[in-house]
């Protein structure tokens, strides 16, 4: 009588280890919706153990399941009517202000206020310096939301901060991970938002205070800031990008919007271009930075259930002539507006879905790079 086939002990052990890794990765992703910071840290630990590509593949599976849950929920309940904005931000937007800068409603807007700009941030005297709106840029995912903040660059200045840990580099440079004291005060500091990928995910170029931290990659999208506060956003080496007067610049993959149109390359999955992370077609938290053709309006775009193409479409619909994807996934995509409270700065997230678990990250110092905006003029 033939003996029953049994797998070798080492094979069973290997399969058990694979299942444990998958379980931990899926659990880490699920935890990000409840405890964003803990979930994000768990994913980083797993990447060091089993590698970037393995965790990215498991994250893709988790994101597909999550997207199907969102799809089923939307089909059962229909569109929600609750505000997407955080409560604190609603109060900030409705504070006293003077008539001023405004943009026309977006043709891509729709019901519920989508595409209609509303005053968002203002100078102490009441001058509006930033507007906000939202869009549903993906017809196949009506539950996907892209929030958009438009900054008047005649009244606001963009700055870049190197994180205390990222982007990693052998170059020795100051890494406080904090907003400089000259800008760190009510009445000057307006808002801050996330930067780009970690070094290991793309090795995209970075310069801060005229020091090259990571060498530039040709053909990559680049946002550059000069000493006068001017912002340029385009492809490295094309149309004076980054510009000879640049004091800081950051790359994060190719442009997702080029000449006012979605870059067709957003449909091509190439980890060398888009970073060793989840697939470009994955619906997840994504963020982007865009600029108008006249370089007078800066756009920050962020939201949930967004593919790379949907993110790019939202930037185009907003009015961006060029746009660059920034960081992705829950916890890393974060925008805070700042207001005065008892003589101190208070941080308030843009979206209600941006958890306030660590909403002071840009005030207390952060390990990842980020951007912030101040009012124009001397400090």
Same domain, yes or no: 319 and 351: yes
Cβ neighbors of 319 (< 8 A, separation 6 or more) are 103, 106, 150, 292, 297, 299
pTM of the predicted structure, to 2 decimals? 0.87
Residue 229: alpha-carbon gap to chain centroid: 21
Say if 2 falls within a structural domain: no
Output the pLDDT for position 368: 96
> What are 129-140's pLDDT values in tens digits?
999 999 999 999
Say if 3 falls within a structural domain: no
Structural domain count of the chain: 2
Same domain, yes or no: 183 and 326: yes
The runs of H, that is alpha helices, within 185-304 are 199-202, 271-274
Residue ending a domain, among 77, 108, 134, is 77
Output the pLDDT for position 336: 95
**N- to C-terminal Cα separation, the chain:** 88
Output the pLDDT for position 62: 75
Output the pLDDT for position 347: 93
Low-confidence ranges of the chain (pLDDT < 50): 1, 3, 14-31
Question: 72 is in which domain, residue-wise?
Answer: 9-77
Same domain, yes or no: 60 and 137: no
Output the pLDDT for position 239: 87
Output the pLDDT for position 63: 77
Output the pLDDT for position 333: 96
């Amino acid at each position: 009588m033939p003996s029953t086939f049994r797998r070798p002990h080492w094979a069973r052990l290997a399969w058990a280890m694979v299942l444990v890794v998958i379980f931990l990765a899926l659990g880490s992703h699920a935890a990000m919706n409840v405890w964003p910071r803990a979930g994000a840290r768990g994913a980083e630990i797993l990447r060091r153990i089993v590698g970037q590509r393995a965790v990215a593949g498991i994250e893709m599976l988790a994101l597909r399941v999550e997207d199907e849950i969102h799809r089923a929920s939307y089909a059962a309940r229909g569109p929600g009517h609750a505000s997407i904005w955080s409560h604190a931000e609603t109060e900030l937007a409705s504070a006293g202000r003077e008539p001023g800068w405004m943009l026309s409603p977006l043709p891509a807007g729709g019901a519920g206020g989508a595409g209609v700009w509303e005053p968002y941030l203002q100078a102490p005297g009441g001058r509006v310096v930033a507007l906000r709106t939202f869009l549903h840029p993906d017809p196949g995912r009506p539950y996907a939301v892209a929030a958009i903040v438009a900054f008047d660059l005649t009244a606001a200045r963009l700055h870049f901060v190197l994180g205390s840990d990222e982007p990693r580099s052998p170059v020795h440079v100051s890494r406080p991970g904090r907003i400089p004291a000259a800008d760190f005060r009510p009445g000057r500091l307006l808002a801050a938002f996330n930067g780009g990928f970690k070094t290991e995910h793309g090795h995209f170029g970075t310069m801060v205070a005229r020091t090259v931290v990571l060498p530039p990659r040709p053909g990559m999208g680049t946002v550059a800031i000069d000493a006068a506060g001017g912002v340029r956003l385009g492809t490295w080496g094309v149309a004076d990008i980054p510009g000879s007067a640049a004091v800081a610049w950051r790359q994060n993959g190719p442009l997702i919007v080029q000449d006012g149109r979605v870059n067709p390359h957003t449909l091509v999955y190439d980890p060398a271009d888009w970073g060793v992370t989840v697939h470009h077609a994955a619906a997840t938290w994504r963020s982007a930075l865009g600029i108008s053709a006249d370089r007078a309006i800066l756009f920050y775009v962020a939201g949930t259930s967004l593919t790379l193409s949907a993110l790019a479409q939202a930037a185009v619909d907003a009015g961006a002539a060029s746009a660059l994807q920034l960081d992705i996934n829950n916890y890393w995509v974060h925008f805070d507006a700042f207001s005065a409270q008892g003589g101190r700065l208070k941080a308030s997230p843009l979206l209600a879905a941006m958890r306030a678990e660590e909403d002071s990250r840009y005030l207390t110092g952060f390990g990842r790079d980020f951007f912030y905006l101040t009012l124009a003029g001397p400090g």
